[in-house]
Amino acid sequence: MNKIIRPQKINKTIIAPGSKSVAQRAIAIASVANGVSELLFPTYCNDVIAALKIAENIGAKIIKEKNKITIKGTQNISCTEINCKESGLGIRMFSPLVSLSGNDITVNGEGSLKTRPVGIIADALNKFGVNCETNSGYIPLKISGKLKGGEVEVDGSLSSQVLTGLLISLPLSVENSVIFVKNLKSKPYIDLTLEIMSNFGVFVENHDYKIFKIQGNQKYKALKYTIEGDWSGAAFLLVAGLIAGDLRVENLSVKSKQADKEIINAIKLAGGNILIEKNCITTKKSTI
């Protein structure tokens, strides 16, 4: 069977869906913040749904609406098991967070997460006073003991997500902490984590991504927070506008810490027709 594909012209305005990277971080933080947070314009992808379920499991109260998630944070993490489904960020972020409880907790997952090594999570938690065991290097994680502060070296060469989990969790510990990081990858994602943390009222000293100094006994403060648009998905849309017409993508922050915002510079270097406005990017058909 033969099919004919003809060129099409695009002339649309599209609202970029919320970033799942931002949403998962914001959900984790809001789940342990003092008060009631409102997360605006979320995307309900599988990883975000998994994060919301974990937030409920640890004691947060969740109300889901089309364009808003309301989260009443818990000050008393209480659970015996969490399921991160297939979310790699979820298991690396929530494992340190639930370790703050001092309870015996099983951290599990499904699908592809069963084939992903989790030794780096266990190694990091064990250094901070938690007893964390793996299933021969894989899930489930068995956690007991309480996350404590201290001065610890963490290998950032494989993933920045474990560091993200520690950065979010350690400010809630009683003790102060210093994390020495070697070979850190994905620095923009650490910038993203620190930015969201500061929006919720918690601060970390970042010394050239090699040393992170964390004051203990800090508290996250609830707030109304907008989940910015996802630059990863938007990049494909912006390129489509360069090829086939006129495309306006809204809900994109040009001040975003997301790494895929670099698509703007790539388009400029290629000579593409791009218009940058506040929270909106327009691309038009270009000869490049």
Kindly state the percentage of the chain with pLDDT values over 90. Answer: 90
Confidence (pLDDT) at 235: 95
* Higher per-residue confidence, 287 vs 210: 210
How many CA atoms, within 13 angstroms, populate the side-chain half-sphere of residue 194? Answer: 17
Confidence check: pLDDT of 1 > 80? no
- Helices 88-98 and 161-169: crossing angle in degrees, nearest 10, is 30
CA separation for the pair 76, 185 (Å, rounded): 33
State the burial class of residue 195 (Cβ atoms within 10 Å of its Cβ: 0-12, 13-18, 19+).
middle
**Which residue has tokens 């409102």?**
38
Can you tell me whether residue 173 is helix, strand or coil? Answer: coil
Alpha-carbon distance 84 to 76, whole Å? 20
Domain ranges of the chain: 10-15+229-284, 20-226
Segment 171-194, tens digit of pLDDT: 999 999 999 999 998 899 999 999
Q: So what's the architecture of 20-226 in CATH?
A: Alpha-beta prism (3.65)
Helices and strands: H and E segment counts in the chain: 8, 16
pLDDT at 14: 92
* DSSP-based three-state secondary structure for 276: strand
Tokens coding 105: 């907790």
> At a CB cut-off of 8 Å and minimum separation 6, what does 54 contact?
31, 82, 83, 84, 90, 94
**Per-chain mean pLDDT for the chain:** 95
